[in-house]
Structure 1
Amino acid sequence: MIARENPARIAEIVGTVVAATPGDVDRIVRWADGEQRAWAARPIADRLTVITEAAARIESAIEELAELLARESGKVVGDCRGEIGFAVRYLRWVVEHAPAAYADRDTDDERGRIVEQRRPFGVVAAITPWNAPIILSVLKIGPALAAGNAVVVKPSPLAPLTIDRVVALFDAPIRAVHGGPETGAALVGHELVRKVAFTGGAAGGRAVAALAGDRLTPTVMELGGNDPAVFLDDATFAGDVMDRLVMASFATSGQVCMAAKRLYVPLARLAEFVSSYREAAGRVLRTGDPLSAGVTMGPVISAAAQRAARALAPPDAIPLGTFDADPATGYFVRPSLVVAPDPDSPLVAGEQFAPIVPVLGYTSEDQVLAWANAGELGLGASVWSADEGRAFAFARRFEAGFTFVNTHNRTGMSLRAPFGGVKRSGWGREYAAEGLAEYVQTCVIHAPAAFRPGAEPGGGPSAYPAH
């Protein structure tokens, strides 16, 4: 049994789920495999109707689900409501775009006839993290089910409760299994799992890749980022700009893969930036119980996360915002800004996943670009400038899967724009057509012109294109 505590009130047990044994995983995967063929044989319109109905059920339960998610994850209830609402909108987007994405392509011309089918893999294993468990699961569930796959979801044991309820709202071949690494290994390594979709940290990604590679199981991964936010020398530090930047760093207590984790400012304007940033934090940043009105940042996820965050903050860290919390009764960490740390320190060089943010002054664009592109994580970035053309030109030089201009937050993400990473950050392409394509494989039926009925004899090898 897995008992989940409330990170804001650690004496409170929010709920429990049953931990799956390897035998349980085997039984559930075999059930999913048995159901998948009948599911795939249904017209896509039927499958999309099921997804539409699930989206409506999730939407009708959004208040209850948001409160549960806030209690198990420590995320502010308004952010939980926003996450679940976005998941509903994403499911409806899948329903709108899946028919075109999964339709056969039939070409019949002088070269012959080719039918390109978009066919499901079979059973998809979805391994998802705790920091945004609903949207990061639905990004996999929606397209996988629409394409005709069955899905087995393994959420993090740090946030298993809400996604367990969401999965139950789908009248489709989908189940959740709960547990730690042993459960994940049994799922990823199962002989009937035909595709693995993973979002999480680098260590988990390596373990998943090793298991999947042993069976040559295809994977889609998004591993995280240490996202830089670069202010060019003409950038404004006006109130609304800084307000958005502060929340881009401290939403979900900084525990977001695409948070603004490293701030770079012209050295000559560093003092001005720090002053503006502190003022903005005073306006928008209030740490406390995530269910309380006006709170914009809750606790970190666990005692281990609390210890790690404290270790990152040097004695001269600048405390930010209003702090209405007791670190003795919840996993709260005072949000802080660290000015001019060592660029090679863990706070700068690693993905801190904590409400401790560094700001560094730079002297040239070449220097800041080298700093921003340092490291093996390349998920996202942002560039800020009064000249949008200049910002786009600079953004082209980032080694990042996506770059925001004059913002750095999730509200700027469009369903039209895929995101992923370069270097070792993973190549996830969720939120867009690329995400739909991850859950089908192309199978071709080909009748070369030379061998079709009525073709002149002797066509033979000449029917094949030259290379």
Structure 2
Amino acid sequence: MIRRENPARFAEIVGEVPATTPDEVDAVVRRADAEQRTWAATPLPDRLAVLARAATAIEDAAEDLATLLARESGKVLPDCRGELGFAVRFLRWVIDKAISAYGDSTVDDDLGRLVLVRKPYGVVAAITPWNAPIILALLKIGPALAAGNAVVVKPSPLAPLTITAVAALLEAPLTVVHGDAGTGAALVGHDLIRKVAFTGGPAGGRAVAALAGDRLTPSVLELGGNDPAVFLDDAPFDDASMDRLVMATFATSGQVCMAAKRLYVPRSRLDDFVAAYRAAAGRVLVTGDPLTPGVSMGPVISAGAQRSANAFRDGDVLDLGRFEADPEIGYFVRPGLVVSPDPGSPLVVTEQFGPVVPVLGYRDEESVLAAANAGELGLGASVWSADEDRAFALARRFEAGFTFVNTHNRTGMSLRAPFGGVKRSGWGREYAGEGLLEYVQTCVIHAPAAFRPGAEAPAAGPSAYPPG
């Protein structure tokens, strides 16, 4: 069994789930493969009706699910409600877009008749993390099921409970298996897995990519980010902007792939920025039990995460917000701002994934652009300026899959915007149309005009097409 403690009170066990051994994965995948054939033959409107019922069921159970999610993950209750609400909206968005995305496309003209058919892959393996376990699972489950695939999900052992409860609400070929890296490897490496979708860290991504690559299994990988937030010399440090930035940094205790993790400000304005940032933290940042009203930041996920985050606090750290927590009974870390650290320090060059953030002064736009683009992760970024056109011009030069302008907040992110990355942070896309098409194969049926009934047969001779 896998037992999950409450990160805010680690002596409290929230629940447990049965573990699936690597040897048991084979039977799970074979059952999913058999179920997938029936599911794929089910008309698309009927598959979408199943997703619609699931969306309603999740919505009806949202308050209980949010409480469970807060207890197992340490995320504050409003964020848990928000995650479940977004998951419902995403499922309904998939339902709305699936007919056009997965329907046949036909061209019939003087060159002949050509039909593009969208077909499911088969069984999809979804490996999901603990920091947003519902939405990051449903980003894969929703499109994959709508397209006619079966799905086997392996969530993180650090957040196994709520996603298991959500999966039970879908009357579809969806199976949840629990286990460690060995279970995940057995799943990804199974011969009947036809597509892999992974969200997690670089080490896990490399292992998944190696297993999938050995079998030429197509994959969607999202491996995190070390997102820079760049303030230009005309950027306002008003209360609303600073409040958004603080929460974009410390939501889920900084344990978010698209959090603002490196702050860059003109050297001449550094002192003013630090004062404004600390004032904002005093307004909006309260660390404590995630079920307590008014708390905006809970604990980190585990004892290991607590040690790693506290290691970044060595040296000069400015404490932020109100700290109403006990690190002796929960995995709490006091949030902090580090001013002008060594640009080559781990706090700057790695994805710290905790509630400690650096702010660095820069000389000019070219130097900050080079700093922002440094490193192997290129998930997201933000640029802040009173001149939106200027911000967009600089944003074009960022090596990032998406760039916010004058915010770094997930709340305003539209479903029309794909979620991906450049460099090594993302292969493939989630959200938007690109995310839907990740779960279908495009097959072509073609009748060239010369060979259609009634057409004059062409003269015999060498093929116009190259051999292959």
TM-score by length of 1: 0.98
**Cα distance in 2, alignment partners of residues 10 and 336 from structure 1:** 23
Q: Which residue of 2 aligns with 1:211?
A: 211
What amino acid is the match of 1:273?
F
Distance change (3 Å), C-alpha of 1:454 and 1:234 = same
Q: Which residue of 2 aligns with 1:371?
A: 371
| Helix, strand or coil at the partner of 2:441 | strand
Structure 2 residue 80 is the aligned partner of structure 1 residue 80: yes
Q: After superposition, what is the alpha-carbon deviation per residue over 1:396-450, rounded to whole angstroms, capped at 9, x for unaligned?
A: 1100000000000101210011121111111241110000000000111111111
**Cα distance in 2, alignment partners of residues 161 and 292 from structure 1:** 21
Q: After superposition, what is the alpha-carbon deviation per residue over 1:146-186, rounded to whole angstroms, capped at 9, x for unaligned?
A: 00000000000000000001111000000100011000001
Structure 2 residue 107 is the aligned partner of structure 1 residue 107: yes
What amino acid is the match of 1:46?
D
How big is the shift at 1:314? Answer: 2.6
How big is the shift at 1:352? Answer: 0.3
Q: Which residue of 2 aligns with 1:169?
A: 169
How big is the shift at 1:68? Answer: 0.3
**Cα distance in 2, alignment partners of residues 22 and 102 from structure 1:** 34
Asked if structure 1 preserves the Cα contact closer than 8 Å seen for 2:428 and 2:438, the reply is: no
Asked if structure 1 preserves the Cα contact closer than 8 Å seen for 2:287 and 2:297, the reply is: yes
| Helix, strand or coil at the partner of 1:249 | helix
How big is the shift at 1:22? Answer: 1.8
Q: Which residue of 2 aligns with 1:145?
A: 145
Asked if structure 2 preserves the Cα contact closer than 8 Å seen for 1:450 and 1:463, the reply is: no
Q: Which residue of 2 aligns with 1:353?
A: 353
Task: Tell which deviates more after alignment, 307-316 or 123-132.
Answer: 307-316
Task: Tell which deviates more after alignment, 417-426 or 252-261.
Answer: 417-426
**Cα distance in 1, alignment partners of residues 417 and 115 from structure 2:** 28
| Helix, strand or coil at the partner of 1:261 | strand
Q: Which residue of 2 aligns with 1:127?
A: 127
Asked if structure 2 preserves the Cα contact closer than 8 Å seen for 1:122 and 1:149, the reply is: yes
How big is the shift at 1:464? Answer: 5.3
| Helix, strand or coil at the partner of 2:260 | coil
What amino acid is the match of 1:266?
P
Q: Percent identity?
A: 74
Asked if structure 2 preserves the Cα contact closer than 8 Å seen for 1:449 and 1:463, the reply is: no
**Cα distance in 2, alignment partners of residues 9 and 147 from structure 1:** 41
**Cα distance in 2, alignment partners of residues 209 and 182 from structure 1:** 15
Distance change (3 Å), C-alpha of 1:147 and 1:461 = farther
Asked if structure 2 preserves the Cα contact closer than 8 Å seen for 1:111 and 1:463, the reply is: no
How big is the shift at 1:112? Answer: 1.2
Asked if structure 1 preserves the Cα contact closer than 8 Å seen for 2:224 and 2:377, the reply is: yes
How big is the shift at 1:457? Answer: 2.1
Structure 2: runs of 5+ lacking an equivalent:
none
What amino acid is the match of 1:110?
D
**Cα distance in 1, alignment partners of residues 413 and 33 from structure 2:** 34
**Cα distance in 1, alignment partners of residues 266 and 74 from structure 2:** 35
Q: Which residue of 2 aligns with 1:232?
A: 232
**Cα distance in 1, alignment partners of residues 67 and 462 from structure 2:** 66
**Cα distance in 2, alignment partners of residues 345 and 243 from structure 1:** 27
Structure 2 residue 298 is the aligned partner of structure 1 residue 313: no
Q: After superposition, what is the alpha-carbon deviation per residue over 1:279-301, rounded to whole angstroms, capped at 9, x for unaligned?
A: 00000000000000000000000
**Cα distance in 2, alignment partners of residues 208 and 42 from structure 1:** 31
Asked if structure 2 preserves the Cα contact closer than 8 Å seen for 1:451 and 1:459, the reply is: no
What amino acid is the match of 2:232?
L
Asked if structure 1 preserves the Cα contact closer than 8 Å seen for 2:219 and 2:427, the reply is: no
Q: Which residue of 1 aligns with 2:182?
A: 182
Q: After superposition, what is the alpha-carbon deviation per residue over 1:9-63, rounded to whole angstroms, capped at 9, x for unaligned?
A: 0000000001101232111111110010110111100000000000000000000
Asked if structure 2 preserves the Cα contact closer than 8 Å seen for 1:44 and 1:99, the reply is: yes
**Cα distance in 2, alignment partners of residues 379 and 87 from structure 1:** 21
**Cα distance in 2, alignment partners of residues 102 and 167 from structure 1:** 23
Distance change (3 Å), C-alpha of 1:147 and 1:412 = same
**Cα distance in 1, alignment partners of residues 195 and 464 from structure 2:** 33
Q: Which residue of 1 aligns with 2:68?
A: 68
Structure 2 residue 425 is the aligned partner of structure 1 residue 434: no
Count residues with an aligned counterpart: 467
Q: Which residue of 1 aligns with 2:333?
A: 333
How big is the shift at 1:108? Answer: 1.3
What amino acid is the match of 1:263?
L
Q: Which residue of 1 aligns with 2:20?
A: 20
Q: Which residue of 1 aligns with 2:38?
A: 38
| Helix, strand or coil at the partner of 2:26 | helix
| Helix, strand or coil at the partner of 1:119 | strand
Asked if structure 1 preserves the Cα contact closer than 8 Å seen for 2:116 and 2:443, the reply is: yes
How big is the shift at 1:462? Answer: 9.1
| Helix, strand or coil at the partner of 2:210 | helix
Structure 2 residue 310 is the aligned partner of structure 1 residue 324: no
What RMSD in Å do the two structures reach over aligned CA positions?
1.3
Structure 1: runs of 5+ lacking an equivalent:
none
Structure 2 residue 389 is the aligned partner of structure 1 residue 389: yes
Task: Tell which deviates more after alignment, 108-117 or 384-393.
Answer: 108-117
Asked if structure 2 preserves the Cα contact closer than 8 Å seen for 1:450 and 1:460, the reply is: no
Asked if structure 2 preserves the Cα contact closer than 8 Å seen for 1:450 and 1:459, the reply is: no
Q: Which residue of 1 aligns with 2:154?
A: 154
What amino acid is the match of 2:295?
V
How big is the shift at 1:451? Answer: 1.5
**Cα distance in 2, alignment partners of residues 428 and 78 from structure 1:** 30
Q: After superposition, what is the alpha-carbon deviation per residue over 1:256-302, rounded to whole angstroms, capped at 9, x for unaligned?
A: 00000000000000000000000000000000000000000000000
| Helix, strand or coil at the partner of 1:264 | strand
Distance change (3 Å), C-alpha of 1:428 and 1:289 = farther
What amino acid is the match of 2:150?
A
How big is the shift at 1:371? Answer: 0.3
**Cα distance in 2, alignment partners of residues 461 and 392 from structure 1:** 55
